[in-house]
Homo-oligomer: A and B are copies of this chain.
Amino acid sequence: MSLLVVGSVAFDAVETPFGKVDRMLGGAATYFAVAASFFTHVNLVGIVGDDFTEKDASIFHGRRVDTLGLERAAGKTFFWAGRYNENMNERTTLATELNVFADFKPRLPEAYQSSGHIFLANIHPTLQSSVLHQVKRRPKIVALDTMNYWIERTPKELRETLRHTDILMINDAETRQLSSEHNLMRAARHIFKLGPKALVIKRGEYGAMLVHQNRAFSVPAFPLEEVHVPAFPLEEVHDPTGAGDTFAGGFMGYLASVRSKSDVELRRAMVYGSVMGSFTVEKFGLDRLRTLKRSEIHVRARHFAKMTQFSL
């Protein structure tokens, strides 16, 4: 079943303690689409400028990503620059140049209008809603990301979009801000009244939590060092950029592939989301996903199971 993603395709400049890249491909929809394409067919809606070359587009080639919905406009592609602190748990935005993204009006090609699974990456809630209006049948799952900016500036529009959302995927600060509740279980109950039936809380180095049917399910973050055999150089987090969108791609890609939203499958989706995110952070930008093999995903998922399972 095909999966639609609507969001940013961008160029990023990133500085971490492990290095500095002045310009690399990025954007929520890019990370999401590449990650999800390991599990299912992805339809991508976004916008790029005339500085977006065939070489940039090659990230999607040879993958199950349809880019018919990737609009090309005159001007420059969205650009973001940021710097991470020493422990990479905080980042400073150095530049945000919207460029062609400022006038982005998502338009779904005909073939995308019957998408059963939809991920609305972090954009203006009204644009998110406009995507849903273009879909012909009620989708099986609509998942959505948002951020503090929209929670503060466009609360009414966000509430309208949330009414049509099945799964909200945000971080813990956003969860607390949206619900005005510190306790995450109370926060979830508040959010369920707004529309979503499931809440995925992304917690960075602390993993992720799913609240569904009033139950919590927690997955830890992958301690990267342990997955490498002694003969290999030690890997660790080199660049957290895109980890959350990669998580969302693994999560939704898996769900679309199994065509189910049972609790059992939602839990597996959490694991595949975490596994995919753990690959992305190993190298800068999309570099690790570029070379990733499906077999590596399954090996790491089994490793992940070993890291969390116990019997009583």
Interface residues of A (CB under 8 A from B): 86-87, 182-186, 203, 206-207, 209, 214-218, 220, 223-226, 234, 236-237, 264, 267-268, 270-271, 301-302, 305-312
Residue from B206, B218, B271, B309 in contact with A307 in the complex, judged by beta carbons closer than 8 Å: B218
In whole angstroms, what is the CA distance A220 to B220 when docked?
Answer: 7
Question: Given that A218-B207, A307-B218 are known contacts, is A312 also in contact with B185, CB under 8 Å in the complex?
Answer: no
15 A-B contacts (beta carbon < 8 Å): A87-B182, A183-B236, A183-B237, A185-B225, A185-B226, A186-B225, A203-B206, A209-B220, A209-B223, A215-B226, A216-B223, A217-B308, A218-B307, A270-B310, A271-B310
A266 nearest CB neighbor, chain B only: B310
Give the shortest distance, in Å, between A310 (CB) and chain B (any CB).
4
B301/A268 in contact, CB under 8 A: no
B186/A214 in contact, CB under 8 A: no
Given A183-B223, A268-B312, A305-B310, 15 further pairs, Cβ under 8 A: A183-B237, A185-B226, A186-B234, A207-B218, A209-B223, A215-B306, A215-B307, A216-B223, A216-B226, A218-B220, A220-B220, A264-B311, A301-B312, A305-B312, A308-B308
